[in-house]
Amino acid sequence: MDLAEEIILIKQELLERLLSGKRMTGRDEMDIKRILKTKEALDNIRNFIDKQRIVILQRRKARSQMKIKKA
């Protein structure tokens, strides 16, 4: 199961528990926190990679423009 599916299931389980009046166990809370931290870490990695791609593309564009000016 991938992270997106796991997050959806946790949200559904949490909503069901809230509506039914069931209490969350310590394990439930730990699982939710772990998944949220994992998602946050993955989002940070994706943002970093996206920024690096932008920098690389800008450098390539600048180099190609310099080559055109020299020619």
Q: What is the pLDDT of residue 53?
A: 93
Give the chain's domain count.
Answer: 1
Nearest to 31 by CA among 52, 47, 15, 9: 9
Residue 58 confidence (pLDDT): 93
Cα distance between residue 35 and residue 4, in whole Å: 10
Distances (CA, A) of 37 to 25, 26, 31, 34, 64: 19, 16, 10, 5, 41
The domain containing residue 29 runs over which residues? 3-70
pLDDT at 27: 82
For the stretch 17-49, pLDDT in tens is 777 877 878 887 887 788 778 878 888 888 999
